[in-house]
Amino acid sequence: MVTRLGDTKPVKVAARVIAATNEDIFEKSHNKAFRLDLYFHLSVVEIFLPPLCERGEDIELLAETLLQRLCQRLGRPVLSLSKAAIECLQGYSWLGNIRELENILEVVGHCL
């Protein structure tokens, strides 16, 4: 139950929590660094997403999709990446994930 701001009557709501971490919270829960009961409430469905540096074959599709969205957001004609640019992106050792790829494309998109 929640009470809306400025209201006096509580309202019943159904909510789902989506949480992400790069920590092993199962291990942390067994080391008493994370509540075990909370772990079991959060871990109904687990999705493992490998880091971008392990998904070189996905970079071309991800980059093209992100670049299209960026061009639409900036109101510019949709661009595509050259083979050399794709090879450059695939050869980069990604420390971050898709957000890092998106940030790089955004910097390049603003320079065009």
Whether 16 shows a pLDDT value over 90: the answer reads no
pLDDT tens digit sequence for 41-64: 888 888 888 888 888 899 999 999
Could you tell me which CATH number the domain at 52-111 has?
1.10.8.60
> CB under 8 Å to 49, separation ≥6 — which residues?
97
pLDDT of residue 11: 92
Per-domain boundaries in the chain: 2-42, 52-111
pLDDT tens digit sequence for 79-97: 888 999 999 999 998 887 8
- Alpha-carbon gap, residue 112 to 70, rounded angstroms: 12
Whether 35 shows a pLDDT value over 80: the answer reads yes
- Alpha-carbon gap, residue 99 to 104, rounded angstroms: 9
First to last CA, the chain: 50
Q: Is 78 exposed, middle or buried (0-12, 13-18, 19+ CB in 10 A)?
A: exposed
